[in-house]
Amino acid sequence: MAAGVPRVALWALLGVSVAALAALLLLCLPPATQLPRPPPTKYGIVLDAGSSHTALFVYQWPADKENETGIVTQHSMCDVEGGGISSYAHDPPAAGSSLKACLDHAKTAVPAERHAATPLHLGATAGMRLLNLTDPGATQHVLEAVSATLRETPFDFRGARILSGEEEGLFGWVTANYLMENFVKYNWVGRWVRPKRGTVGALDLGGASTQITFETADPAAPAVPLHLYGQQFRVYTHSFLCFGRDQVLKRLLAHLLKASSFRLVLANPCWPRGFSRSFPMDSVFGSPCTAPLRPPNYFPSALVNMSGSGSAGQCREQATRLIASEEGFAGSGQPNVSGSFIAFSAFFYTVDFLQLVSKRRVATPGDLEAATEEICNMTWAQLFRAAPHMERFLPDYCPMANFISLLLTQGYGFNESTFPDIAFQKKAGETSIGWALGFMLNLTNMIPAEQAGAWRATALGPWVGLLLLLVAILAVAAGASACLLRSRTTPGAL
């Protein structure tokens, strides 16, 4: 019992100290009318003009930390109705008009007094890259049309341009590591610190291209040197045009038609049994990615009648031919994958669907293959019962799951030991993972300039903070005790 008395007394002293500290802080605060105003919030807007659709993102950050990091968050987003801006090649003004509803959303999301100071950017990706290959004139007209609409807004419009595949990959990598606080982070004692951990790789699968980006120590790898947040990185990145979700689906259909001697009635092993669809040949062969496979007697309006035969094995064979037919994977000079990865966009949506319907966690290549086989062997009725709200996308999950399985293992080289390091994520916290945030950070100079000695390693940070906190508590306790003793010895004290 005697040994317990000092411990109780210590806890009592600490409790009194904390209470005294809170009381002193309250006493020191000025009246409510004299409290300083919090720093204004700044905003930035990025339009992600992808191949299949456009999304508008509104970001925000405290103005007093503009040149620091770890503080930009996603305020809100808006999906633009209709297809990507590249789909308006024959009607460029409509591309601009399609953005107006989401721009109205941005006007509401950003306070009116901040409109003029809010930078607005539009970045176009693989859909516009493809259009620029076939029709540079139409590409320019579309960019001019969207720019005209964006100039009419009250925001600070800073341009619309097409990103290269490498830029798309690098900005996605910056976004992922920024959100994971792998560059710097704000610690609990109020300092920006450099975490002692590595970066994560980024796997992006859009509508018309796919990107792989990760830090590498291989001196022979074709890596990009980056100097960010006081650190040096060597980052490998590669973009594969025509290997995004929409283009892969078109290419699989094109190869299937070619193998069937372009018959207008045929079975598709990647579609579920009980599902059928008719489509014009132009919907398959109108893309630059499939144009080399057009038949000699190509008629754009000729209708193809296709029915699903639901064969997991045959669908995988089709996807295997697609991967094998591309020499780009072998010729990209990619070093061996290493470290953790985040897979987003269509990677996430496809694997998330597989796990939802198969009730199987995808943690290994075998898990992904087994879940894919299960989905591919389901009938249309079974798929529809499992996810009726996703009816539009249901026929495409089997071919995409097979493609992703082969892309990750045969294309990118993940195996039983490295595949578990992939996290399939849509967001980090409340912020979407993609290239848009990294793009804005770069263009608004939110990546800070170098300052000698500005950053501190995290190894001693928490201990220093704890020591300072203990010193503060003891000082307050001593002050409180002194005040109490004085009050007791002062004549007339209550």
DSSP state of 211: E
Using DSSP, state whether 265 is helix, strand or coil.
strand
Are 318 and 252 in contact, with CB atoms under 8 Å apart? yes
Which residues, in sequence order, are bridge partners of residue 201?
Answer: 341
Give, in degrees to the nearest 5, the angle at Cα 228 between 225 and 230: 115
Distance, CA of 54 to chain centre: 14
| Helical residues (DSSP H) of 192-286, grouped into ranges | 245-259, 282-285
DSSP state of 470: H
- As given in the structure block, the two tokens for residue 81 are 């109705």
How far apart CA 95 and CA 146 sit, in angstroms, is 6
Torsion, Cα 259 264 269 272, to 10 degrees, reads 170
Element (H, E) at 212: strand 209-215
Pick the catalytic residue: 66, 113, 152, 168? 168
How far apart CA 193 and CA 476 sit, in angstroms, is 28
Told to judge if 450 belongs to the known catalytic residues of this protein, a careful annotator would answer no
How far apart CA 461 and CA 350 sit, in angstroms, is 41
Beta-sheet pairing, 456-457 with 192-194: parallel
How far apart CA 395 and CA 376 sit, in angstroms, is 9
Are 240 and 325 in contact, with CB atoms under 8 Å apart? no
C-alpha pair distances (Å), 156 with each of 57, 98, 445 = 15, 20, 15
* Residue from 184, 119, 130 nearest 153 by CA: 119
Long-range contacts of 132-139 (CB under 8 A, 24+ apart): 132/162, 133/288, 134/288, 135/89, 138/89, 138/90, 138/92, 139/86, 139/89
Give, in degrees to the nearest 5, the angle at Cα 247 between 212 and 323: 60
* Residue from 453, 438, 461 nearest 237 by CA: 438
* Residue from 105, 53, 115 nearest 84 by CA: 53
Structure-token match 């000082």, residue found: 475
Q: Which residues are tagged catalytic?
A: 168
